[in-house]
Amino acid sequence: MKRSLLGLLAFSFTVWAQMPVLSQVSFPPKPPATKPGFHIVAYLPDYRAAVDPVLTAYVTDLIFFSVGPTRDGGIDAAHLTPAMKAKLWDIKRRYHLRLRVALGGADRSGGFGPMALDPIKRARFVRALTQFCLRNKFDGADYDWEFPANKGEDDAFMALLVETKHAFVPHKLLLSMAMAPWQDITPAASAAVDQFNLMTYFDDAHRAGLAHAQADTQGLLQKGVPPQKVCMGIPFYAEGIADASVTPAYADVVRQYHPTPDEDEVSGLAFNGRKTVQAKTRYALSQHLGGVMVWEIGQDTTDETSLMRAIRHVAAEQTH
């Protein structure tokens, strides 16, 4: 979901070490209902396995990150441990959310090209993915190929999306795609994908304010994607203004600098504060988008500064 997992992994360990015991934090068992059809999508990486499942109470769609395609059309599920699988199943049962599995991601997409370019391997992969979702109780899959390297791989990706949808339909599985603002989509692939998780923050967090997200969203809509399929991305991490490789979690920023709700910059770090996150959510609602997407849930706080809580409460305003 970002250029490299290495920086995020480093900060994830820092956050784990400093976070309070999440089981001691009180969350409402039944958060306010959201507007029908408005989805709050969150990614949960395998390296956030220690996050308390109660954090997902605010989510409508949870995407486990990630497994990956092998070069010969198989699935590398090494990151989906038995303990992680049990946690995901418990979350799904407890909060009645839609659970999907992400494929690929930054530094995990090496198998896509060799698999997708070969029709035989591609068909093998689609069959394997369908059975993988059914066997592991996933409601669908989320493609996060970062990124096709040339036109041949672009075309192969579009074919992969269409073929996956054909295999998913009989089983009522959902198909989503993590999409960078500059990526294109063919009409056939657009019709096949149920949800586009638009990485409006991809160009750098300090450029990911409301106006930037609006422009990226409108750009995708102008490509012909229906608004109800678009979930606008919101970063739950900060980025160094002078050094973009510095990417601490939002929770880390709050713990160290205690920003006010309307601050989006502290000590050379840019991020989305609560006011910006609320404004983005209201914009998504006003444009009748399919929802918002966050990368990623384990980077949030667990008190009144929580961005996930801010999103859910704004989404609930539309039900009154």
Model pLDDT for residues 37-64, shown as the tens digit of each residue: 999 999 999 999 888 777 799 999 999 9
Give the pLDDT score at 30: 58
Question: What amino acid occupies position 6?
Answer: L
Mean pLDDT of 252-262: 98
Q: In this predicted structure, what is the pLDDT of residue 314?
A: 96
Answer whether residue 236 shows pLDDT above 70.
yes
Strands 265-266 and 230-235: unpaired
Confidence of residue 24 (pLDDT cuts 50, 70, 90): very low
pLDDT at 115: 99
Residue 275 has pLDDT above 90, yes or no: yes
Q: What pLDDT score does 29 carry?
A: 56
Give yes or no for residue 12 having a pLDDT over 50: no
